[in-house]
Amino acid sequence: MKLLQGKNVIVAGASRGIGRAIAIKFAENGAFVGINYRRSEKSAQELLTYLEGRGYGGMLLKADVSSPKEVDSMVKRFVSERKSIDILVLNAGIYERGSFMDISEDRWSRVISTNLTGCYYVLKSSLPFIRDGGSIIFISSQLAFKGSRHGADYAASKAGMLGLMRSLALELAPRIRVNAVAPGTIDTDMISDYTEEMRKRRIEEIPMKRLGKPEDVANVCLFLASDLSGYITGEVINVNGGLYIH
């Protein structure tokens, strides 16, 4: 029995990295997956082709999560075909390096609008269609706890996500469960600017002695989306190889 058989899922930010791994993992377990993307149309189409080539169901959902009109249109399109939503994964996000004093007002607004306010827009449009027994999963970050020397706006947005998650967990229980995953250093495009020396240094810092894989995060999301976590809500699961223990 597949853990998500017959479930309808929207993954915000699904075309690459962690989002892509989540979409594949959920489809493999029986879910129909709405693949949200903003600009990476080629990657999103490749993902849909991959899923359909293996007999899995999915559809492309182009929308900038920082635009309430685009989000509302995306959700209505998904529901017009699938009728309802069972699982919502809030993964869309951007990260730009730089010290706090280097953060312009435009950059601050762009990061917060995408990473945090985008969650608000997707939730507002989706919640009326999420069925009883549904699951909402926020993809936060270890930086929500430890902060960042070169991404204060990103850390603030990810910490804000956790406040929103906990509030909704209280408000929506027992009808809908709401949880979060906080990844550590995952081997995705986000660390593509790491030099070989930086990668080696980070691996030495991690007790598990390796970088995380997108599938490591996807496996935890599968647990939180399924009935295996039926008595868990308002929690954050860290997936960081022991890099940050609290």
User: Which residue, 133, 119, 122, 221, is CA-closest to 172?
Assistant: 133
**Phi, psi of 191, deg, nearest 5:** -115, 25
Beta carbons of 57 and 49 less than 8 angstroms apart = no
- Beta-bridged to residue 180, according to DSSP, are 138, 236
> Using CA atoms, how far apart are residues 133 and 205, in angstroms rounded to an integer?
39
Q: Among residues 154, 194, 231, 244, which one is catalytic?
A: 154
Q: Is 154 annotated in the active site?
A: yes
Count of all residues that appear for the chain in the document:
246
**What sections of 66-132 are H helices per DSSP?**
68-82, 105-112, 118-126
**Residue numbers annotated as active site:** 154
